[in-house]
Structures are given as structure tokens and as C-alpha cells.
Amino acid sequence: MFTVVIVGRPNVGKSTLFNRMIKSEEKLKAITDKLPGVTRDINYGISKWDEKEFSVVDTGGFFPEEKAENIIQKQMLEQVEMAIQEADLIIHLLDGKEGLMPFDLEIARKLRETGKNIIWVINKIDDPSKLNRLYDFYALGTEEFFPISAITGYGFEEFMDKISEKVPDASKIKEEKEQIPKIAIVGRPNVGKSTIMNSLLGKKRMIVSPIPGTTRDAVDALCTYYGRKYLLVDTAGIKRLSYYKKDTSHSVFVEKLSYFKALRSIERADVVVLVIDATEGIVNQDQKIAGIVSEQKKGLIVLINKWDLIPVEERDKKAKFFSNEIKRKFWFIEYVPYLTVSAIDKTRVTKIFPIVDEILEEYKKRVSTAELNKLFNEKIKDVILSSGGKELKFYYITQVDKEPPVFVIFVNDQSLVKQNHKKFIERLIRENFNFRYIPIEIKFKQRK
């Protein structure tokens, strides 16, 4: 996904702009405060504008290296530089109230050295009467500025239109997508991700250790299974976000970067493999990771690893237990396939590849309108449901997109549609057109 990174010195309004861009009240929302340097971590979200979707990254205040006064500021600088490396477009945010500062010139110089595409944005311009503040900023050596107010929204639409111009069309991104499927291997620390990757590769490619957090970076490796190539991405273990807020030591700082890289690995993957420890069961963090994958609308396979540690006489009982647990704790992705595996003795590990292939085929599948409406006429159309004294009528259905598949159903009154209607229709589509393992989206529209 196209990535936009917001960079600037402390207290210029980066987090406020980030929050406006992602329009989110969720946990990823950045904390804002009048005190400089409040944002120490990288914040990550998704923005949608003009039918285009892109990633937005909010960074801590940018300190020129020689000006970083303490270890925290140096770590913040490392975070910013890492985010810049991942960027497709950089927003250099400046403070229109304070004017151009020496730090701003230094930051601009460093950003130009990256060769990345840059947009210069002057924040805290609340209305046209303050546009005279822009003159100082011509010293940056650029003639195009975007005056905005991240708080009030002044100039925000023009700014977002400019970003939208830079973001490639979704169709173009799909055309340029590499043919080799990408499989991201994710999970909590020490569940055996690297061992699984080594097992799939047939060689010791990753460092394996009983110490949690051995893998700090996302590492790619090419794998061949029956003549077909797959790109495997092993990621660092994803800890709870609250864990990262407990400490500012260098070790935990590196873990923060690992968390960000794991999110990026999920984003660029075609299929995600979530590894769970069979001896510990499905814990809260496993659910959260699955939630991240679900939000990204990625194909998901759950591997219940360390099956060799389950006593033979208990395995049947344990298999039934996990079957129920997956339905209960992964209720929001009830379609997800799962396997009990052992990375140590390689039991059933390679069975992921046929499932990956099926997931990729399902993503590309398109069902004709004629086929859909034949099912619709047989099972749904004549069903008239009452809601609050009104009748809900279904007219027809069509598939409007794929990767993942999106279906639109036209009804007489959109306000009468309930969640159980959506679930019923989704189940029919899955059963009749063999969408077994992927997310599908169903939308309702009111016929005029």
C-alpha cells in the first residue's frame, strides 16, 4: 500500500494532522498535547480520500542528530529515519505560527537527500488573513506550499487532493503486483515462527532460540513447493501495545520498530499465517493479531504449532477443543482455516501451500450476475421480512469487485437491513460459490 509519512520537528501538529487524515477514534489514534515531544512512537493508520486508500505514518519529533540531547531523542530520530525509508511520499510539516526555524532547514536538507517525493505543508494557518506567514518559508527553496489548519480543517481538502494525485490507482497497483505469492508468518513472540519458516525452507535460514524476541526484523525468503514459488516473510513477535508503553529502554525501543515492521509485513502479504502455541491456547493477543489481519482484508491461515508437545493420548480431545475455541474466539473470521502442526518434526507444515493456493483463487473469483440472481430468486428474493411494521424487500444482487469479493444487494429500504440478514446471505454465497477461506464484503443499497 502507498505510504505517506508525516515528518517535522516537535510540536508542529503532526499527530493532530494524522488524526484528521485517518478520521479515527480507535487506539491507533495519536496522542496530542501542547508539550513538545509527546509523540515518541510511530503511529500507523489508513486514510481514504477520493476513492483511494493509503497508509499514514505519524512520527515523533525530528531532531537533527547532533541536536539530540538524550537517548530518547536519539531513539525517536532512529524511528523517524526508519519510517522515511518506508515512505512513498513525505509530508514535511512546518509551524506557520512560529515561522521558519533553523531545524526546519536542516530537516528539509536531509529529506531532499533521500530522493523521495516531498510535500511542504504549513500548519496553524487558520484563515486567509494569515497567509502572509508563508513568505518566510520560501527560504526552503520550494515554491509550492499547502497552508492548512490541522485543528480546524482549513485548507485540508486541497492538501488531501494533492496526496490523492500521487497515489496510484488501485487497478494499476494490482497490475504491477508481483506474481509470486507473499506469505507473512506472524504471531506472538516465541510461538515458533522462525522454526516453521526453517521447516518450510528445508534449511536453517532463521536464527532459532528459546528466548522470546530473537527475530527483530521482517526477513524474506524464497520457497519452492512442487515447482511453485512463494515468498515467505518471517516477522518479529507482536506484543501488546500496552507492553511497549511500559519502558523506554533500547531493547523495548527495538521491539517497537519490530511491531511496526510486522504490521507492514501483514499489509504487503497476500496471505497471512498466524502461529499459535498449542500448549498455551488462543490468548487475547492472538485475537488482536487476527483482528489486524481481518481489518486488512487478507487471507488468513491459523497454525496451531508445537503439536508434538501434546501427549498422543490427549490429541483427539485437544483437537476438538481448538475447533471450538477457534469458532468462539475468532467469531469475526469464522471462515478461517486452521491446521495443527509441529515445526520441529515438520508434521503437516507444508499443508499450508494448497490452502494458500485456494485462498488466492478465491480472491480472484468473480461470479456472474446471472448466477447470483438465480440463487437470489430461489433462496432470498421472495422472502419478505418485517421490521418495525415495515417490509424489507430484496430486488437483485451483483458482484462489483474482487480481491476481496464485494457484493451489492439492492433493497427497498436500507434502514431495515439487520446483521442477521447479512450473515444469512453471506452464508448462502459461501456455500453455493465455494468462498471457503476468504473475507467477502456484502453491501446493501436502496433502489431509487
**Separation of alpha carbons 225 and 396, rounded Å:** 42
249-283 burial by CB neighbour count: b if 16+ within 10 A, else e? eeebbbbbbbbbbbbbbbbbbbbbbbbbbbeeebe
In a shared domain, residues 248 and 325: yes
pTM: 0.58
In a shared domain, residues 334 and 240: yes
CA distances from 219 to 22, 163, 198, 292 (A): 29, 30, 12, 20
Specify the pLDDT at position 15.
Answer: 86
* Closest to 432 (Cα-Cα) out of 394, 369, 375, 380: 375
* Tens digit of each residue's pLDDT, the chain (448 residues): 788 999 988 889 988 999 899 885 443 444 344 434 433 456 777 888 988 888 888 876 665 554 445 444 555 566 667 678 778 999 999 999 999 998 889 889 888 988 899 999 999 998 888 888 888 898 888 878 899 999 999 999 999 999 999 998 765 555 444 578 999 999 888 888 888 888 887 754 433 334 344 333 445 677 888 888 888 876 655 655 454 455 555 445 444 555 666 677 788 889 999 999 999 999 988 998 899 899 889 999 999 999 999 999 999 999 999 999 999 999 999 899 999 999 999 999 999 999 999 999 999 999 999 999 998 888 876 555 555 567 888 888 999 999 899 999 998 888 888 888 888 899 999 999 999 999 999 999 998 6
Tell me the CATH number at 143: 3.40.50.300
Specify the pLDDT at position 33.
Answer: 41
Look at the alpha carbons of 92, 93, 96, 99 in this order and tell me if their dihedral is positive or negative. Answer: negative
In a shared domain, residues 166 and 186: no
In a shared domain, residues 121 and 19: yes
Specify the pLDDT at position 234.
Answer: 65
31, 35, 40, 43 alpha-carbon torsion, rounded to 10°: 30
In a shared domain, residues 167 and 69: yes
In a shared domain, residues 163 and 254: no
Specify the pLDDT at position 142.
Answer: 84
What is the side-by-side order of every strand in the sheet holding 182-187? 219-225, 228-234, 182-187, 271-277, 299-305, 338-340
Specify the pLDDT at position 391.
Answer: 82
**Separation of alpha carbons 202 and 196, rounded Å:** 10
Domain final residue, candidates 173, 189, 214: 173
**Separation of alpha carbons 101 and 106, rounded Å:** 9
In a shared domain, residues 351 and 375: no
Strand, helix or coil for residue 226? coil
Place of cell 494569515: 130
**Separation of alpha carbons 167 and 187, rounded Å:** 31
Host domain of residue 307: 178-364
Angle at 66 between CA 61 and CA 70, to 5 degrees: 65
Q: E strands within 306-440?
A: 338-340, 385-387, 390-392, 394-401, 406-411
In a shared domain, residues 353 and 384: no
Angle between helices 71-86 and 250-268 (to 10 degrees): 10
In a shared domain, residues 96 and 165: yes
Specify the pLDDT at position 22.
Answer: 86
In a shared domain, residues 150 and 89: yes
Number of domains in the chain: 3
Tell me the CATH number at 403: 3.30.300.20
Look at the alpha carbons of 328, 330, 334, 337 in this order and tell me if their dihedral is positive or negative. Answer: negative
- Taking a C-beta distance cutoff of 8 angstroms, is the pair 301, 356 a contact? yes
Domain final residue, candidates 339, 364, 389: 364
In the chain, DSSP finds a helix count (H) and a strand count (E) of 13, 17
In a shared domain, residues 99 and 122: yes
